[in-house]
Amino acid sequence: MNTNTKNILNYTSYAYQIIKFYCSELSAKNTPLVIFTKDSYVAARLQQEMLWFNQNLVVSMIPDWETLPYDSVSPHPDLISDRLKSLFLVTQKAFDILIIPATSALNHLPPKQYITQNSFFYSKGQKVDLESLKMVLIENGYINVQKVFHPGEFAVRGGLIDLFPMGSTIPYRIDFFDTEIESIKTFDVETQKSIYPTNKIEILPARECPLTELSIETFRKNYRERFSGDPSKSPIYTNISNKIPFAGMEWYLPLFYQETNTIFDYLPDDTLIDVPFKLSSSIDHYWLDAQTRFKMYAYDIERPILNPEEIMMDSVKFHQDLNRFKNLNFDVIDNPLPKITIDYKDGYKNIADYINQCPKKIIISAESLGRRETIHKMLTECDLSLKRSESINILDPVIDHLLIQSPLKEGFSDEYFEVFTEYDLFPDFIHQEKSKYKSKDYNAEVVIKDLSEISVGDPVVHENHGVGRYQGLVQLDMLGSINEFLLLTYEKEDKLYVPVTQLNSISRYTGGPIESAPLHKLGSGQWEKEKRKALKQVYDTAAELLNLYALREKKKGLVSKIDFLEYQKFANEFPFEETPDQMLAIESVIKDMESARPMDRLICGDVGFGKTEVAMRAAFISIMNNRQVIILVPTTLLASQHYNNFVDRFSSFPVEIEEISRFKSNKQQNEVLEKLANGKVDIVIGTHRLLQKDIKIDNIGLIIVDEEHRFGVRQKEMLKKFKTNTDFLALTATPIPRTLSMSLEGLRDFSIISTPPQKRLSIKTMVKSFSEGIIKEALTREFNRGGQAYFLHNDVSSIYAISEKLTKIMPDAKVAIAHGQMKEKELERVMQDFHQQRFNLLLCTTIIETGIDIPTSNTIIINNADRFGLSQLHQLRGRVGRSHHQAFAYLLIDENRSLTSKAKKRLEAIQYLEDLGSGYFLAMHDLEIRGAGEILGDQQSGEIHEIGFSMYLKMLNRAVTHLKNNETLDINADYNENNDINIHAPAILTNQYCGDPNERLVIYKRLSSCESLEDLQMIKEELIDRFGVAPEQTENLFIIHHIRIITKDLDVTKIDAGKKTISLNFREKNNLDPLKIIDLVQTNKHIKLDGPNKITLAGDFEDPFDKLNNIKSLVGEIKD
């Protein structure tokens, strides 16, 4: 079979045509079809699109492990689950189409009989003993836990078994009555509540590498025959002998069996195979990659590896076996679509014209339900109505023009119809949206003002009325229209109802502990007095800032020239796709380095979010300009970690990298320093040793400081001698609020990386009382998946007693101890051994806070967690979760010791903010818990305590703007641009549409913060995707914000849109052109001036949409 004859370019068209062919030609014959693809992306996309075309077919895929050959990392349990499910279906000939990427096609698989002999069905009413089922599960590799989270786990509670079978997307709860299965129900892993009943459950083996007595004995025998030397010195041999899995054991799969199979051994004899891609190059590349990596890792005598031929087929063997099966040789008909693109500014006229004249039926596919509704609305405005449909029947002729929501990525043409996707119709729009997102400035104030965490009773700041307490959302009948308000209470229980359309005037109070937040009295003048008092201090700070701005602008730095061809080569070697935030940070750094002003930028992002890659790009640019780079880190371990990472990243380029740390002898350090002074070192990485007087650098261009806040005042003063005209880049995972406030005030440039890498999961964080049961469950869960764990005990005097206790709880655990009082060489050896997986439990102090990056360590237990600060807890928790496995953090407290209120709040904050990218928000919590004075200094603390941090920043930014423009700041000026808009119709998120009050509050806040119609439309589409098509009351809410956005620069204070008149009230001091207004009144008999600052429009305005359109027309005439 020639696998080089075809190369499909339109995957969607291929998916449609192959499904249509299968349904008409192969389905009735039960002929299985296998499709080989060049990579996993294409395989996953084909599976998704084929299933959409026909949900009744069984379209399965064997995903690859998502690891490289000989990796010391195991696949995610979900991947193993999907693989075992697909292999089981193949053994039962219970599939229609099987898709296999090249990276799965070569690898050896467990023998077929292993899958068939270890797969079981259990049904409601079946006689089975609970204990015997438990033994079956354990024998098949399932893990007995207290609470089920992932495939391959089960839990026994009385007469119940909770079970998450491999191959299933949902867990099940089996209820026994004596020795009979009384019921089987699905349940939710988060709430643990039962959902709906089912009659039968299928149990597959939990591993591709089993740990039964027979397989362990087979492994030991094969290992001794295959590898020379003493096996007892090999961690992998002793681990398997003790029934302990290890990360990366899948690459030893052949050792667990007498013989293995290939995918071709699984396939039925009558299988048809189609190879619609140029597969040979992908197969050859994967085989070559295995050979290359074998040469890299074959040296480790304690972790010997199998030859590539033992773990996979070579490319010759693959093609020989491929030719045993009949080739479908499917011919794809390629009918390109006409080029029709839509410019949003011109509306949808192009597509409407094309649909009206095209003899075929037209199908337009939107990527979400919200987008579908948007397109439907825009086409309706062009007097074109497409029938909305959930799917298309591929065997029946299409009789209507359709508007669908689907995962289709490309359009295609059929004999009777044409399919256009958004990617076909709006390429410029989609590209602009992407680049717009990457290039816009990050509005930090919006982040701070986010009300998503607010609870009833929490203090909030109203910009015109001061600090009150939030008491929830209430609905009031206002002249026959139901609307929703925030209820705030002030001193003496005074109440203020704030319309949800005006949430821009509300921010969360962050100026100190919430229990001591002030409460102002409505109408007393107290709030104006506090603002006036703060204004003087704000003016002084603003003047100081402007002076600093001026000094910074005058500084002449080093202008970097960028060879974009060379830079792109370096960027292309980054093995991951940059996240949007990461790309924005990189672009900002490039812009800084190209300017004449010295760069001074803070990159804030959680651990593992890609800050180091941003630093590496900056270092590469500096080196390209023949300048040297200093990388300063707080600990020796972090220096070692960075050194290894930088050496690996720059391995393809002639870059000289050295490290200065205590791990090096004086002689080695002196050699490095001499090379550094002579310009023979491009990048030097080290601790504060690099700041000492004897350090001489030939041509410094860039300083990178990791975790800057960990350096003391004296060290920062020493750093200033380098910073005069040098580019400076600081990295931090949890910015202390002082650093945060400086960045927000503009003293430093600021980039936030808050988007997690793909497939990264948030860390499940639990606060528990210290107990042996909790420790045993946490460690068992981690060890059973072949991982490693940290147990942090920050007291050297009792750390060895804790070691004895842990050994008693987990006798099979291999415990290593690491703390700061150990000799440096001994500490380095322990850390290297843990990294090499010679130990699976590291008992340590906070020495691991920075610099430890071990993807196989995904559980951390922090003892006496209440004794740590918020920033430190976040850093420590960040030591786990560096891979795509679910990570766990257990924060243990002594139940016999009472917690302080601050400690309780810290633990609540770290547990609540377990989402990825939460470091920035934790810094704001720190400001709230500790208070402004402790962090920002006494000078500003009083004002911030009275008016709140957000209000202080807003006043400061406005003062800076006014001083720049030589204007006087009016203390009585309205600080928000909200206007009062009344359309005389209910405008709310109804309880039926969105039942969670907190969720409604967040949405109201987001709507109030919208500054463009594009952002407003994106929120609308998101709500439709989440909650369905919006009811009339919610449409009215969007109409109000539409009106707010288009009138925001007209100095409008109030808009009243009744049935007969629409009136616009303007501020006394406005920027309207009086002559234009007079001309407008004279030329349009429906428009009148009603006083000096009010315009009215007369007419019949029954419908809110009609009111919106008339206001749009009126605003357009005023602006023209």
What would the DSSP string read from start to end of 500-557?
GGGGGGEEE--SS-GGG---PPTTSSHHHHHHHHHHHHHHHHHHHHHHHHHHHHH---
pLDDT tens digits for 850-883? 657 788 899 999 999 998 887 788 888 888 887 7
Q: Are the CB atoms for 1036 and 1042 separated by under 8 Å?
A: no
CATH code given to domain 997-1119 = 3.90.1150.50
Sign of CA dihedral 53, 56, 58, 64: positive
Tokens of residue 78, six digits: 């979900």
**CATH number assigned to the domain with residue range 557-753, chosen from the 4 options 3.30.70.100, 3.40.1350.10, 3.40.50.300, 3.40.228.10:** 3.40.50.300
pLDDT of residue 548: 65
pLDDT computed for residue 922 by the predictor: 54
User: Tokens representing 843?
Assistant: 């008992």
Token pair recorded at residue 183: 């019921």
CB 537 within 8 A of CB 940: yes
448, 464 in Cβ contact below 8 A? no
Q: Look at residue 553 in the predicted model and tell me its pLDDT.
A: 67
pLDDT of residue 447: 37
Nearest-angstrom CA–CA distance, 36 and 422:
28
The angle that helices 526-554 and 938-947 make with each other, rounded to 10 degrees, is 130
Distance (Å, whole) CA 376 – CA 724: 58
Burial 254-275 (b: 16+ CB within 10 A, else e): bbbbeebbbbbebbeeebbbbb
Q: Is domain 120-203 in CATH 3.30.70.1560, yes or no?
A: no
Architecture per CATH, 764-915: 3-Layer(aba) Sandwich (3.40)
393: DSSP letter: -
pLDDT number for residue 490: 92
Q: What is the pLDDT of residue 1106?
A: 92
Question: Alpha-carbon distance 875 to 83, whole Å?
Answer: 35
Beta-carbon contacts of residue 39 (< 8 Å; ≥ 6 apart): 101, 102, 103, 282
Quickly list DSSP for 411-469: -EE-SSEEEEEHHHH-HHHHHHHHHHHHHSPP-HHHHHT--TT--TT-EEEETTTEEEE
What is the spatial distance between Cα 534 and Cα 958, in angstroms, rounded to a whole number?
13
Rounded CA separation 525/477 (Å)? 30
Asked if 789 and 842 count as a contact pair (C-beta separation under 8 A), the reply is: yes
Rounded to whole angstroms, the Cα distance separating 723 from 1096 reads: 60
Fold matches, 120-203 and 997-1119? no
Confirm if 1064 and 1055 have CB atoms less than 8 A apart: yes
Residues 621, 626, 627, CA angle at the centre, nearest 5°? 75
Return d(Cα 5, Cα 209) in angstroms, integer: 37
Tokens 């063997």 belong to residue: 317
pLDDT of residue 1062: 94
Report the SS3 class of residue 677: helix
pLDDT for 724: 64
- At 1096 the three-state DSSP class reads strand
673, two tokens: 């320093």
DSSP assignment string, 62-127: ----SS-TT-SSPPPHHHHHHHHHHHHHHHTT--SEEEEEHHHHSB-B--HHHHHHT-EEEETT-B
Q: Report the CATH architecture of 11-114+210-327.
A: 3-Layer(aba) Sandwich (3.40)
According to the 3-state scheme, what is the secondary structure of 1050-1084?
CCEEEEEECCCEEEEEECCCCCCCHHHHHHHHHHC
- Residues with pLDDT less than 70, the chain: 1-8, 341-347, 427-453, 511-514, 545-546, 548-549, 551-553, 663, 708-709, 712-714, 716-718, 720-724, 734-747, 758-760, 850-851, 912-945, 949-950, 953, 968-978
We find that the CATH architecture of domain 358-436 is: 3-Layer(aba) Sandwich (3.40)
Task: Locate the domains of the chain by residue range.
Answer: 11-114+210-327, 120-203, 358-436, 557-753, 764-915, 997-1119
Q: Are 450 and 508 in contact (CB under 8 A)?
A: yes
User: Which 3 state secondary structure label does DSSP give 471?
Assistant: strand
| 3-class secondary structure, 386 | coil
Contact at 8 Å (CB) between 953 and 744? yes
**Residue 634 tokens, joined:** 């707080």
Residue 235: partners with Cβ closer than 8 Å, 6 or more residues away: 246, 302, 303, 836, 837, 838
Distances (CA, A) of 1051 to 88, 1066, 1071: 68, 6, 7
Tell me which H or E stretch contains 844.
strand 841-844
Please give the Cα distance from 1019 to 1033 (Å, whole number): 16
Strand pairing category for 172-177 and 180-187: antiparallel
- pLDDT, tens digit (0-9, with 9 covering 90-100), for 971-985: 555 555 567 899 999
Cα→Cα distances 309→108, 256, 306, 471, Å: 10, 16, 8, 69
CA angle 579, 584, 587 (to 5 degrees): 125
Unique residue bearing structure tokens 């000078």: 939
With H, G, I as helix, E, B as strand and everything else as coil, classify residue 944: helix
